[in-house]
């Protein structure tokens, strides 16, 4: 974080400073009485060489000038990137012209003091005497400051005149006064005797270590809750974790820590609750590894590991995963979208209040209006209007009107008549008003935020296109506009034709879909349909034609003019571009017998986006496994086994044979379709992620379906194609058993969830596979094949992604070309087994 500017400045100081009072420069890891530490004289480095105490100026080469000044801090000594883990004078930066006169020393009363010797002004002090009420210099005791190997700066009281004398417990330590970082060995908690609370606080921005908007700590009410809060009046709790409330989370966390090779033997969480203290801590036995927890400026806490390969820090765990979860992280009059990078943006007709602060990660100022509101006669004569924002999480702090207005128009007038009212919503005959700043508006991304609410934001009339201009000649004006538009359209079409661009490619470009992502498949092109044609094919999307519904939309059976049967998926919203593009991007240029074929699409005007697939007469796998009716015959074992191989081949193609690796992200029986020959085809690529072959991971928000999610989704880290492998393993278990993996079991006195994968791996180890097979088969199955499928499934659902096979290996095993050994019990499954047995007692 140090800048070139700061280095040059220090070099100049090295040759120009003069006038310091006579003293001895500090060296080694100890600052003794009579010694000083300045910007150019003396240094403290821990005895293991890992940490350094000194002066630094935050920032990069481009942004160092934005830093408020210089700070006394501790950082990793041997790494090429200065990463401060503790800052002394957070709220009192040192100006350039004062740095030459600034020094750190042990004062006469035993405190560690940072001061300006020219003005005798104290910049920062440990204030030990005022904290514990004792005199640190009584008798022959002398204080000294030591930078420990852990990165903890401590003040020790020494008995006797020499440094070799017995060292007494420290009087003060930096670990008790954290900034935004928690190192191994540091405690997050409180001292029950002294009342000391160790609370970390985020930086104000990436170049300003001052107190930021968010804090982390441990509640003192006996709940064991670790919390993240927004520092406001009152403070706002937005994330918490407690093993008492969620017994499985600690097992899941430990499993995640063992999942990545770089964390093995590095991270060991600890919880202590004694008569004197209560705290969380983590230790790191591997001294060669550098790690720390940090609270960033946006309110997310991260576990960071140093990567020697990349020569940079990597965040391998993040909470909360959704960047929009922290309270008002984007500031007023903003919209947060968890799938965007960066996630924050201004509402329409608003602009960043402080663009420079935004670039540095400080968005507390949010956005401000481009045009002031009109408020005459107390709002009764206002010309302001409202612009709708659909499918958003509504802001914090609404005023719910008593005696709800009879209509949305009445609710709008109630807001318009109050000068402080900036927005309203009208849902279910309930009128909600917001006054002044709007905080916490998040966009529905179709993955984590699923609100269907509409917010009406108040804007000045000038922010809307004029509706009166040209009103006297509407017909002529419309004709001229139509003429211009039509001419432009013809010119554009002519140019595209001259360039050899097909109609379908132009339509794809017009919809904003890259032609490189929606090219033709073999000899059959992806067709751009007209909305009216698909409406007629599906009988205007009638309920009788409806095949099913999912998270992103409904699917209808349709018959095209050439009598071809198709399945038409209508997305829930015309604005669901992310899912629309994901489907076209994933299927537009690939073709495989085990992938559903994309016939075409429609993105005409403001209509909902439509995707057209080949029709699969036997529908989805779940209807045959879990639904007993006359229309769904019981799948034979040979059919199930061929379905397993087919799905594996489809996934292997996506992961290993496409130009770019495609991660489906939502493998489950509902997304496995069966044709007339019961050949399986993977469908629903609305959550798919595409990874370039030069990369092995992709950072994305948590997506998929509970019950099929790999453990690494919980960590918020970059995922690999192994998440599909995990989900496939869960599907295999359901394919063998003909039942859902998780089901509610009722006994005479209790009701608990039975997790079938636990039983599968136990029975596999006991050699009792036949008891796992679907009883509807009446024993008509191959025991060797069933055992093979169960082994593959249990290897696929291992906690550690590196222990799971690739889909290519899965195909070879299922085809009998490769053999797998007995899989171990995954740690997370073992924890579930233990928890289930305790819960059922």
| Residue of higher predicted confidence among 69 and 686 | 69
- Measured N-to-C along each axis, helices 722-737 and 637-652 cross at an angle, to the nearest 10 degrees, of 170
d(CA 732, CA 652): 15
Share of the chain above pLDDT 90, in %: 42
Q: Read off the pLDDT band of 688 (50, 70, 90).
A: low
Q: Is the pLDDT of residue 836 over 70?
A: no
Alpha helices in 164-280 (DSSP H): 247-259
- Fold of the domain built from segment(s) 503-614: Phosphorylase Kinase; domain 1 (3.30.200)
For domain 621-839, the CATH architecture is Orthogonal Bundle (1.10)
Least confident interval from 21-25, 691-695, 718-722, 791-795: 691-695
User: Residue 466, CB half-sphere, CA atoms under 13 Å: how many?
Assistant: 4
Alpha helix locations (H) across 322-375?
355-359
Q: Where in the chain is the domain with CATH 2.90.10.10?
A: 1-174
CA dist 499 and 490 (Å) reads: 14
Dihedrals phi, psi of 826, to nearest 5 degrees: -60, 145
84-104 tens-digit pLDDT = 999 999 999 999 999 999 999
pLDDT band with cut points at 50, 70 and 90 for residue 334: very high
Q: Of 612-616, 692-696, 797-801, which gets the smallest average pLDDT? A: 692-696
pLDDT, residue 811, reads: 94
Residue 383: which residues within 8 A CB-CB, separation 6 or more? 374, 460, 461
Q: What is the pLDDT of the chain when averaged over all its residues? A: 78
C-alpha 701/C-alpha 714 separation (Å) is 10
Helix (H) or strand (E) holding 56: strand 51-56
Predicted local distance difference test score (pLDDT) of residue 169? 67
What pLDDT digit, counting tens, does each position of 620-629 carry?
899 899 876 6
Beta-bridged to residue 508, according to DSSP, are none
Give the residue range(s) of CATH 1.10.510.10 domains in the chain: 621-839
pLDDT tens digits for range 164-192: 444 456 789 999 999 999 999 999 999 99
Phi first, then psi: give them for residue 185, nearest 5 degrees: 95, -15
Q: Go through 109-126 and write b for each residue having 16 or more CB atoms within 10 A of its CB, e for each that does not.
A: ebbbbbbbbeeeeebbbb
CATH class of 1-174: mainly beta
Cα angle 783, 649, 795 (rounded to 5 degrees) comes to 55
pTM reported for the whole predicted model: 0.59
- Clarify whether 348 is annotated catalytic: no
Q: What local confidence, expressed as pLDDT, does residue 266 receive?
A: 61
The larger pLDDT score, comparing residue 262 to residue 33, is at 33
The whole-number pLDDT of residue 769 equals: 94
Work out the average pLDDT over 245-256.
Answer: 48
**Three-state DSSP class for residue 379:** helix
Predicted confidence at residue 676, as pLDDT, reads 87
Candidate from 152-161, 431-440, 518-527, 736-745 with smallest mean pLDDT = 518-527
Question: Which residue is catalytic, options 463, 666, 684, 774?
Answer: 666
Mean pLDDT computed over 26-45 = 88
Q: Please report which confidence band the pLDDT of residue 499 belongs to, taking 50, 70 and 90 as the band edges.
A: very low
């Amino acid at each position: 974080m140090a800048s070139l500017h700061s280095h040059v400045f220090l070099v100049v100081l090295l040759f120009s400073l003069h006038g310091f009072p006579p003293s001895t420069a500090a060296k080694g890891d100890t600052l003794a009485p009579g010694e000083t530490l300045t910007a150019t004289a003396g240094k403290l480095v821990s005895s293991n060489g890992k940490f350094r105490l000194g002066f630094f100026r935050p920032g990069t080469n481009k942004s160092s000038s934005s830093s408020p000044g210089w700070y006394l801090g501790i950082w990793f000594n041997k790494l090429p990137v200065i990463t401060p883990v503790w800052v002394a004078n957070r709220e009192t930066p040192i100006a350039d012209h004062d740095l030459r006169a600034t020094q750190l020393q042990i004062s006469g009363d035993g405190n560690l003091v940072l001061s300006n010797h020219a003005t005798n002004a104290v910049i920062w002090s440990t204030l030990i005497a005022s904290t514990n009420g004792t005199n640190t210099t009584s008798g022959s005791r002398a204080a000294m400051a030591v930078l420990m190997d852990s990165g903890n700066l401590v003040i020790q009281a020494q008995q006797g005149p020499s440094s070799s004398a017995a060292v007494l417990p420290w009087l003060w330590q930096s670990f008790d006064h954290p900034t935004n970082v928690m190192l191994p060995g540091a405690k997050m908690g409180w001292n029950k005797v002294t009342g000391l609370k160790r609370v970390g606080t985020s930086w104000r921005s990436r170049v300003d270590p001052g107190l930021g908007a968010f804090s982390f700590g441990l509640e003192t009410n006996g709940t064991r809750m670790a919390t993240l809060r927004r520092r406001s009046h009152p403070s706002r709790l937005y994330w918490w974790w407690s093993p008492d409330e969620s017994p499985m989370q600690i097992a899941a966390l430990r499993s995640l820590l063992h999942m990545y090779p770089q964390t093995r033997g590095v991270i060991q969480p600890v919880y202590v609750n004694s008569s004197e203290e209560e705290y969380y801590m983590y230790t790191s036995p591997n001294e060669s590894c550098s790690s720390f927890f940090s609270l960033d400026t946006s309110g997310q806490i991260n576990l960071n590991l140093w990567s020697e390969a990349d020569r940079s820090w990597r965040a391998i765990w993040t909470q909360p995963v959704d960047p929009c979860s922290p309270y008002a992280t984007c500031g007023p009059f903003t919209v947060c979208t968890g799938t965007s990078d960066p996630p924050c943006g201004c509402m329409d007709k608003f602009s960043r209040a402080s663009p420079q602060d935004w670039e540095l990660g400080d968005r507390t100022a949010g956005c401000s209006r481009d045009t002031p509101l009109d408020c005459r006669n107390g709002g009764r004569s206002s010309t302001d209007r409202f612009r709708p924002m659909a499918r958003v999480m509504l802001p914090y702090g609404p005023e719910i009107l008593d005696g709800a207005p009879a209509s949305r128009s009445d609710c709008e007038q109630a807001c318009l008549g109050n000068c402080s009212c900036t927005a309203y919503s009208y849902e279910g005959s309930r009128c909600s008003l917001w006054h002044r700043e709007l905080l916490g508006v998040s966009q529905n991304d179709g993955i984590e935020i699923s609100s269907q609410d509409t917010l009406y934001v108040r804007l000045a009339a000038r922010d809307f296109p004029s509706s009166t201009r040209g009103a006297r000649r509407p017909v002529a004006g419309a004709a001229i506009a139509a003429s211009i538009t039509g001419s432009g359209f013809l010119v554009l079409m002519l140019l595209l034709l001259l360039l050899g661009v097909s109609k379908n490619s132009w339509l794809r470009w017009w919809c904003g879909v890259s032609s490189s992502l929606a090219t033709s498949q073999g000899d059959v092109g992806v067709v751009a349909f007209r909305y009216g044609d698909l409406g007629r094919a599906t009988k205007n999307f009638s309920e009788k034609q409806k095949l099913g519904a999912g998270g992103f939309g409904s699917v209808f059976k349709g018959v095209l003019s050439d009598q071809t049967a198709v399945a038409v998926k209508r997305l829930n919203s015309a604005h669901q571009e992310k899912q629309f593009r994901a489907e076209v991007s994933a299927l537009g240029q690939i073709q495989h017998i085990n992938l559903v074929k994309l016939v075409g699409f429609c993105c005409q005007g403001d209509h909902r986006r439509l995707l057209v697939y080949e029709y699969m007469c036997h529908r989805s796998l779940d209807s045959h496994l879990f639904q007993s009716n006359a229309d769904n015959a019981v799948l034979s074992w040979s059919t199930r086994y061929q379905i397993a191989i087919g799905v594996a081949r489809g996934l292997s193609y996506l992961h290993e044979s496409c130009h770019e690796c495609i991660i489906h992200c939502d493998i489950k029986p509902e997304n496995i379709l069966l044709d007339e020959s019961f050949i399986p085809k993977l469908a629903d690529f609305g959550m798919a992620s595409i990874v370039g072959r030069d990369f092995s991971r992709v950072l994305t928000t948590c997506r998929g379906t509970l019950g099929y999610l790999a453990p690494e989704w919980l960590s918020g880290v970059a995922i690999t194609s192994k998440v599909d492998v995990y989900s496939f393993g869960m599907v295999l278990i359901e394919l063998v058993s003909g039942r859902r993996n998780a089901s509610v079991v009722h006994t005479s006195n209790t009701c608990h969830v039975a997790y079938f994968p636990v039983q599968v791996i136990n029975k596999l180890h006991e050699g009792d596979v036949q008891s796992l097979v679907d009883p509807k088969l009446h024993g008509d199955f191959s025991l060797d094949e069933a055992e093979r499928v169960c082994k593959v499934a249990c290897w696929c659902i291992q906690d550690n992604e590196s222990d799971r096979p690739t889909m290519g290996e899965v195909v070879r095993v299922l085809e009998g070309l490769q053999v797998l050994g007995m899989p171990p019990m995954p740690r997370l499954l073992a924890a579930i087994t233990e928890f289930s047995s305790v819960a059922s007692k």
